[in-house]
Structure 1
Amino acid sequence: MDQLPESILKKLSDKVDHVEVYMEREESTDVDILNDKINHAKEENIIGLGIRVIKDQKQGFASTTNLNRIDETINQAINNIKINNRDENLGIIECTNNYPKVEGLYDKKLENIDLEEAIDYSKTLIELTQEKGCNPTAGGYGVGRSEVRIINSNGVDVSEETTSCGASISVNVEDNDVVSSAYYYDVSHNKNLDLEMVANKATQLALDSRNAKPTETRDTPVVLNHTAAVSLLNTFFSALNSENKQRGRSKFSNSLGEQVASENFTLIDDGTIPEALHSSLFDDEGTPTEKTILIQDGILENFIYDTYHARKDEDDVTTTANAARSGYSSVPSVGFTNLKLDFKESTPLEDIQRGVIVDSVMGAHTTNPITGDFSVEALNAFEIKDGSIDNPIKKAMISGNIFDIMKNAVAVEGETRQLGSCITPRILADNLRIIG
């Protein structure tokens, strides 16, 4: 990027104690599908800049996309100091050169995909769906290129370029007097998306879900497919966030060093995994990314921290390189990179004699964040009989406790997927309540 961040540091050097400039350039091409047509297509090129300043342990922040109004943004950041309280935990990181090398985050093949080509890919998704006898209802295709630079008054000056590519499709198919529906998507840093696979996954699930039958209310093993598992696990993960710990909103607040999950289970936050969606050279403060073991063989080892919450913590801890932003318009907070779920034990689906398999759930946001109790609607659910997936289930609820699930969970053999931050296999949960 250009020399603008340096000029901002220079202008602020004698006005505040600390300065941090976060500059982001986003180029994107996106196409939206509605029913069987291209609904909307756009290309965007946005440059945004966020200025964070600290003076007398008070913080100010301002952002802009208008690079002709930099002086106004600087003044706004300084003025915002006045409305904030003094906080001894505020600070910016010191300069370091120990940055990891992370492969697979940039693909030059994505640089030259224009709107016409993205539209063609989206039309291909529509055609592939229709060839399978299903109707597309929503979806799209998009590519992006991002460049981030972080520079601060402690000598940090880091930058990184990444690319992204994503495709999704929602479908339905006639099912007697109703419709059966399904959804699938894939995202990558590389131009390696298999559009046929995306369409096949969605259409096959919709077709298999036809002629659903009611199920009995009972306690039974439940296989959580990737989407369902991630939806429910978000509550479990939130208990590992240091901000929630410090606010008393984490079930694990006083559990460091204790057994919180199955001895079969290890959970690692790792921002250095090649090609993973949330890998990077540095976090959103400029700290070199790293690998942090959160749970080892079921024992709680760590929480995730940014610089602020590490300084605030009652324990002697440092940042785990988990500062995250929603973009140039926000200050750092705590967030995961790639959460990798490892299980020592796994079971073949064929070994499950009786149970239910669920593709996704509705209502996971209502899970109690402290207790972990949930009651959700099962979507695209099927009976398991004698190790085989049997008839689809018509309207069922699942209830249980996510913390209890993880005390006994094992992996189900098969594909591992990354959805958001979470890299997970399918998970077998013991004896959840199915309400037919």
Structure 2
Amino acid sequence: MTQSAGWPDGPRGHGVWGNLPELRRDAVGFMRHARAAYGDVFRLRLGPRDVLVVAEPGAAREVLVAGAASFRKGRGIQKMRDFLGGGLLTAEGETWRAHRRLMQPAFHRAALEGMADEIVGATGPLLARLGGAARSGETVDVASVTAHVTLRAVAAVLFGAALRDEDLRAVERELPPLLASTAARVRSVVDWRLPTPSLLRERAAARALDEIVHRIIRERRASGAEGNDLLGMLLAARDEEGGGGLSDAELRDEVMTLFLAGHETTATLLTYLFLNLSRHPELRERVQAEVRGALGDRPPTAADARSFPLLNACIQETLRLYPPAWLVPRQATQPVTVAGVPLEEGANVSVNIFLLQRNARFWPGPDAFRPERWLNQTRTPEAFMPFGAGARMCIGNHLALMEAVLISALVLRSYTLDVPDGGPTGLVAGVTLKPDGVVGARVSSAASA
């Protein structure tokens, strides 16, 4: 196979499949070795396609900021359209710009702060679950319980009291397998459309979720009461001339996108946060003391989310080491140059956030968990972009951080999660970055830990 003209070197790989076999075995480990051998900008081969991997801040911003108009979302994200429709994650061009303008006010920090009570309320079942585990000595699956609480939190923030108990149970039943099948399709080189059992199950789950979302939208429009939740804000959104709100179909797509973006990614962040703190018990004790000192026995508020400097530093460092959205795929829509590399229309680029945020040129001891980096202001902001960069930076970044701070503060105030032997150390790289094994934790009362 002929290498793309003017491109840097990269691992040669299989004559037909390129680097796919190595990537399937250990995507993150393989790309770390490739970066060590070929530098911060290198080439991978995915079957018949070359992909330019970018792991340098300046080159990343050429793609995501300065040259953003010359790129569209990559092939993997385009495959999500079956589930997400034309939501912000998959939309392009003027559709994306119009929706982003309409939705942005709902995601300003001040607008989101009114939703803190919903997040705190959604954390109640998790605290009860941990309390039961502490009394019984049962081990909890951290990834499972954090996924459960973030799903409840995003549902509460989206729909407020409009989501019935049976709706929530249906969402908890249908959404996880739908996300899993979507992730499998994104990873697949071939986009099969045969009516396999998994595809039929995926479509049935999507229909069940659609029925819930469309019913809530119809009821809200019929009542005339838009509400203070995110759905209410989106229903009220209008363009600059006071018209042009989102249609029911567009609202459905944005709600499904927010379920994906606000659920799995935040759950992964919390899983790694509790895992990192378990590996650093002295640091964890300091975080717990900080939370208890600031809150006492009262529930946290949105204002409290900024009152935990050490906890926030731990969250930022967790995002640096384990960015849930670990790469950003793009495809050139016209000839363009990135890091001096000429790209033709249709060329594929992957901004590797994981490699970029572990670049030793910008982060001393790049693989070490050092929250103090975020307290002494010695970091390099250009080398930190867990929510992307530029105009297409994740619209829900403030919501995700508030959610992570409030949930983790509630947990750490009352409980200590200890993962024996440091927990799994390998990484599974799908749509999000996850541990390669079960993160099982023993739960004890924070007061007695």
- TM-score above 0.5, yes or no: no
Superposition TM-score, scaled by structure 1 size: 0.27
Compare the two structures and name the one with the higher helix fraction: 2
Compare the two structures and name the one with the higher strand fraction: 1
Superposition TM-score, scaled by structure 2 size: 0.27
Could you say which structure has the greater relative contact order, defined with CA pairs below 8 angstroms and 6 or more residues apart?
A: 2
Query: Over alpha carbons, which structure has the higher Rg?
Result: 1
